[in-house]
A and B are shown apart, each in its own frame.
Chain A
Amino acid sequence: MTDQLKTAEPGPGGNPPVRAGLSPRKKQQISRAVQYVILVAVAVAAVLLIDWASLAQNFAKPEVAQESLPELFTVALKNTLIYSVGGFVFAFLLGLVLALMRLSPVRPYRWLALVYIEIFRGLPALLIFLMILFLPLALPGFEVPGGTYGQGILGLTIVGAAYMAETLRAGLQAVPKGQMEAARSLGMSYGRAMITIIIPQAVRIVIPPTTNQFVALLKDSSLVLFLGVSGEYVELTKFGNDLASTHANATPILVVGVTYLLVTIPLGYLASRLERRQGKGR
């Protein structure tokens, strides 16, 4: 190998750039060496400075981890899935209605949908859950149907629908205009064309981003904690929190974290695979 700038293209002026000092390749080698040195230094510091025994005692105590079974799966994970799947389904439906309203020729519909989306995308999810908690105070006699599950699912629906609406609107708009025209030219009404031709294609387009939104909802389902749920209604985070308090030990938090990852990481991969496949298909 030589140090000549073989690959460098002459600039627009025609003169090859003048090289000052080290070649780009040499610079890159040095930069990489520095990065490795930093990495090793941090690792050594971690090994020396952290009290590993105490950390293991607090975060990975096998007895405590064992204690969490089988409720970790039969109650906590099950409830997390109930809250998030329920929230996802209703958020999808409400999101679809909002997306169709956003594209409606009726101006007040466009307005209402926009107001909803802007408000609920702009608020912290936790605030929504607190609102649901205080709802009975504001509306005496009102009760969310479905009890605790209903409350949790309602909170996730309100939050998820705002995001889902924007995703679905983009999906609906990504369906080529000619599809609607072809459907109308066959005598289909606007609604019929939407249902049989446009929405099915839009849903296909938004599967990857909605998979990611499901992951987001799954994580937000931890906010159910603030609804004061207990017993058979606890989901993963509340479950881990309770167990950690009982044992004055952080192991359950780690266990619960791993359980979340068991679901979220495969879903994340699924989403990016679907996305790649779609990128090729169209």
Chain B
Amino acid sequence: MIPVRHAVEIRDLHKSFGELQVLKGIDFTVDPGQVVCVIGPSGSGKSTLLRCVNLLEQPTSGMVVVEGLELTDRDADLDAARRRVGMVFQQFNLFPHMTVLENVTIAQRRVLKRGKAEAERVARDNLDRVGLADKAGSYPAQLSGGQQQRAAIARALAMNPALMLFDEPTSALDPELVGDVLTVMRKLAEEGMTMLVVTHEMAFARDVADRVVFMDGGVIVEDGPAAQVIGAPQHERTKSFLRRVLDPTHTDV
């Protein structure tokens, strides 16, 4: 097919909810090992784009290829494809009736059919990675928001994904807990994980992302190296968005 194999390749992606056109022709790619941050105003379709990448949302038209497998093919095995794509949600979405350890082992056991001992070993390794080794026996409700989000990251990592999707992973957190989660994500990026991150954390995007994509009104307005898109934006819409985000008290209403 395509000579260079991308981790993610999106071609002319459209998504509508009834009359409402949310994505109006998105084209972009993520290469293996790349960290791409998606920024943009509320309602611009960032979450919808991310959810189209693992087909939690069915695109209206267009093509989504992950790891060489076309997910928009009607006969694609989506469950198999989603195993290779980890997703971290704004609201964590841990399973409240299970301990942290069970949260991290359940899909390994039921989906990957790993044995109990192996699943627990992988779970403990990943909990250690996110700094939660001592919370294995706790229930989600007993953890802080930052700990819950790190447990959710460990849960996704335990499936050995080739790609991680993050949808505003720190937006529901108290400010003092944001750092812990971003540190884990930065470490993951340094280890070479391919990541697609929707975020409002401009400092993270500037420091960690290889590329930043600015979306507005269902299209990609600007796509380039972080230093360029955030440091020297070309488009007026990008400039005005960054002004509002970086200096919220000086917004021209």
Q: Bound pair: A and B?
A: yes
Min Cβ gap B194→A in Å is 16
Q: Are B93 and A188 in contact (CB under 8 A)?
A: no
Q: Are B95 and A182 in contact (CB under 8 A)?
A: yes
Q: Which residues of B contact A181 (CB under 8 A)?
A: 56, 87, 89, 93
Q: How far is the CA of A185 from the CA of B158 in the complex (A)?
A: 13
> Which 7 pairs of residues, A with B, have the shortest CB-CB distance?
A187-B83, A186-B107, A182-B93, A185-B87, A178-B93, A187-B111, A187-B82
Task: Kindly supply a per-residue 1/0 record for chain A positions 188-203, scoring 1 wherever the CB is within 8 Å of any chain B CB and 0 otherwise.
Answer: 1100100011001100
Q: How far is the CA of A200 from the CA of B106 in the complex (A)?
A: 14
Q: Are B56 and A197 in contact (CB under 8 A)?
A: no
Q: Are B79 and A182 in contact (CB under 8 A)?
A: no
A201-B96 contact, Cβ under 8 Å, with A181-B56, A186-B155: yes
Q: Which of B83, B89, B159 contacts A178 (CB 8 A)?
A: B89
Q: Is A204 interfacial (CB 8 A cutoff)?
A: yes
Q: How far is the CA of A196 from the CA of B107 in the complex (A)?
A: 10
A196-B86 contact, Cβ under 8 Å, with A182-B95, A185-B54: no
Q: Are A187 and B80 in contact (CB under 8 A)?
A: yes
For the complex, would chain A's binding face be called helix, strand, loop or mixed by DSSP majority?
helix
Min Cβ gap A120→B in Å is 31
27 contacts between A and B (CB under 8 A): A176-B91, A176-B93, A178-B91, A181-B56, A181-B87, A181-B89, A182-B87, A182-B94, A182-B95, A183-B95, A184-B56, A184-B79, A184-B82, A185-B54, A185-B82, A185-B85, A185-B156, A186-B107, A186-B155, A187-B83, A187-B112, A188-B111, A189-B79, A192-B110, A197-B95, A201-B95, A281-B141
Q: Is A179 interfacial (CB 8 A cutoff)?
A: yes
Q: How many residues of B contact A (CB 8 A)?
A: 26
Q: Which residues of B contact A201 (CB under 8 A)?
A: 95-97
Min Cβ gap A133→B in Å is 43
Within 8 A of A (CB), among B144-170: 152, 155-156, 159
User: Which of A181, A182, A192, A197 has the most chain B CB atoms inside 10 A of its CB?
Assistant: A182
Min Cβ gap B51→A in Å is 8
Q: Which residues of B contact A281 (CB under 8 A)?
A: 141
Closest residue of chain B to A197 (Cβ to Cβ) is: B95
Q: Are A196 and B91 in contact (CB under 8 A)?
A: no
Q: How far is the CA of A279 from the CA of B111 in the complex (A)?
A: 33
Closest residue of chain B to A281 (Cβ to Cβ) is: B141
